[in-house]
Every structure is written in C-alpha cells, then in structure tokens.
C-alpha cells in the first residue's frame, strides 16, 4: 500500500464515509475533517461524509459529524482514521461499507479493514493525510490545512516528541503556506476552561514521585467531587509533562463502570508500551494506556515504570 494506491481506491467510489476512534482527540478529528475537506475540494462530484458519535472538548473549531444512514454507509467506501482496533472505532458500522480502508499510526494496528496503510513511526495520522495530499498533488485549502495542522500539533505535543522528524516539518511548511492561523488553532487546542485550570493545579499538588516516575491517582470520591468524566480526567496526565528528572509519568483514574482504575502512561525516553500490553492495554511506544487495573496492579505498574530503562 502507498499514497498512489490509496488515491486509486478513493477514486473508485462515488460515496465515502470517514470514521475515527472513540474518545476522539484532535488527531482523530483533524485527520477526519482534513481528509473530508481535501476530498470535497479535489473530487467535487463525490459525496463525502464524516461519522462519529462521541464528542470532543471545545468543539467550536470543529464541524459536526454528518452521521449518514446505514443505507448510505452500505453503498460507500469507508475510511477509518487513527484507530488501532476494531473495538475503538466510532463506530463499528464502518464494517458495513462496500470496502473499508484504514490509515493509522498506532503500534500493532489491527487488520480489521479490507485495505490498510499503517506507518507506526509517523507522529500523527494527520501527518499521513497531509502527505497523501502532497504526494498526489491535491489542492490543499486553508481549511483542510488548519484541521491537519491541529491534528499534527496535538498528537506531537506541539512538535516536541521523538517521532517528530524532518518530514514532519516539511509537511508543516506546506500547510503553513496555505495561510492557517497558527495562534488561533494553538489556542483552540491548548486553552483550558477556567474550572479546568483550577483542577489542573489541584491535581499537580497530588503528584507522587518515585525515582524518575511521577504519578497521580484519582480516587472515586475526588473524581466525583471534581465533576470529571474519565475522558476529561485522563487529559491531566500532562500536568506532569515538564518536571526536571521525571522521565515517565502516569495518571490513574477510577472507573465507575468496572470499579477499577484506568491508566494513561507517558514517557520521554524509554519505551513503556510493553508495560501497557502486559496488562491488556496498548498504544504508542511513549504514550499508551490500560483500561482496567485493580489497586494492586496499579502498584505493579508504578514499579515497572520505575524499572523501565533504555
């Protein structure tokens, strides 16, 4: 599979429905809305829809999903973006399409579509979509460039993580030339509501440090008191992002549904995804998660993080 082959597949269908993952972030939305706009601009005769039932925080920058009917899905090519597994697709109706195509950058991305293009080393799916447009010489409007930039920026923590490389910046140069408003988009991505700003600073006071590991454990009572959903709570893992001497960090959040803790794990250097996999989780080498842990397992994960070395 390559970018020319992806274009050929897309050109074979008059109707296309684009999906992404549950608990969507800006890479999921950015790649999805960016690809939709690219296809509308370059193939005006095609019908292009977005699908997804779950929502994102501060969506004012983003468009609502089209969520077409099952009849339309069944007569379309479906494209699933930024989604590692079948169970994480929002939603599974993509499998009803005439054919399905996945474009993704997660490790061990499942073979759950007819066609797949997975680049594990890519820093975001939005980067892959931008490259698809550049390689095929598609017209890139400032609207599609804005969505793709948002996705690239978000997944790379503002272009600061290890998977960012020269290609990322070459693509970025192309997008910036389209006249996107970097300052405004950065603010959409990063600005916190005032209530969340206060929560962020409260959580920072709860961080516990063990050698070069930092972690926060959000109990059932605190989560209720702070009025946080699991999705919102997990974003606060980044409270510990910039602490001298802290190389790995984790956020454990109580889950009502399973009466257990979910974990978000991050690392600046050594790979930690093996730890996540050991407990039924996964993701990227340096950013991964585990859905369900009991308290004893939480302690084990912390110990494994402490032991993780290059």
Q: Site residues (CB under 5 A) for Mn ion?
A: 27, 82, 125, 155
Smallest gap, in angstroms, from Cβ of residue 27 to Mn ion? 3
In whole angstroms, the minimum distance from the beta carbon of 241 to Mn ion comes to 17
CB of 244 to Mn ion, least distance (A): 28
Q: Closest CB to Mn ion among 155 and 222?
A: 155
**Would you say 90 or 155 has its CB closer to Mn ion?**
155
Which burial class, exposed, middle or buried, applies to 30 when counting CB atoms under 10 A from its CB (0-12, 13-18, 19+)? buried
Q: Which is nearer to Mn ion, 116 or 206 (CB)?
A: 116
CA 282, distance to chain mean position in Å, is 13
Four-residue CA torsion sign, 56, 59, 61, 64: positive
Closest contact distance (angstroms) between CB of 124 and Mn ion is 5
Closer residue to Mn ion in complex, CB, 155/212: 155
Residue with smaller CB distance to Mn ion, 82 or 212 = 82
- Structure token pair of residue 112: 């759950």
Instruction: Name beta bridge partners: 80.
Output: 19, 102
Question: Could you give the CA distance from residue 148 to residue 277 in angstroms, rounded to a whole number?
Answer: 29
Rounded to a whole number of angstroms, the minimum distance from the CB of residue 1 to Mn ion is: 18
- Residue number, nearest CB to Mn ion: 27
Answer yes or no: are the C-beta atoms of 152 and 58 closer than 8 Å. no
Tokens 């006249």 map to which residue?
A: 179
Using a 10 angstrom Cβ sphere, with 0-12 exposed, 13-18 middle and 19 or more buried, the burial of residue 156 is: buried
């Amino acid at each position: 599979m390559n970018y020319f082959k992806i274009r050929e597949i897309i050109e074979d269908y008059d109707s296309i429905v684009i999906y992404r993952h549950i608990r969507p972030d800006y890479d999921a939305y950015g790649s999805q809305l960016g690809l939709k706009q690219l296809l509308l601009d370059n193939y005006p005769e095609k019908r292009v829809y977005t699908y997804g039932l779950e929502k994102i925080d501060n969506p004012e920058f983003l468009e609502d999903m089209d969520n077409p009917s099952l009849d339309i899905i069944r007569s379309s090519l479906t494209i699933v973006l930024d989604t590692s597994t079948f169970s994480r697709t929002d939603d599974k109706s993509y499998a009803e399409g005439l054919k399905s195509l996945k474009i993704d950058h997660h490790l061990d991305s499942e073979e759950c579509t007819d066609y797949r293009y997975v680049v594990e080393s890519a820093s975001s799916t939005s980067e892959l979509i931008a490259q698809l447009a550049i390689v095929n010489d598609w017209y890139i409007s400032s609207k599609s460039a804005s969505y793709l930039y948002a996705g690239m920026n978000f997944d790379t923590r503002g272009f600061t993580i290890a998977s960012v490389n020269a290609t990322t910046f070459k693509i970025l140069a192309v997008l910036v030339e389209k006249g996107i408003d970097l300052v405004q988009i950065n603010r959409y991505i990063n600005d916190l509501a005032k209530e969340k700003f206060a929560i962020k600073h409260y959580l920072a006071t709860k961080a516990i440090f063990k050698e070069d590991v930092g972690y926060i454990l959000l109990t059932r009572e605190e989560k209720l008191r702070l009025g946080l959903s699991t999705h919102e709570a997990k974003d606060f893992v980044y409270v510990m992002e910039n602490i001298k001497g802290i190389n790995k960090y984790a956020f454990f959040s109580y889950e009502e549904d399973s009466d257990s803790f979910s974990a978000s794990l991050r690392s600046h250097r050594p790979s930690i995804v093996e730890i996540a996999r050991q407990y039924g989780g996964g993701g990227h080498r340096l950013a991964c998660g585990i859905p369900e842990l009991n308290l004893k397992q939480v302690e084990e994960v912390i110990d494994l993080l402490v032991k993780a070395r290059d």
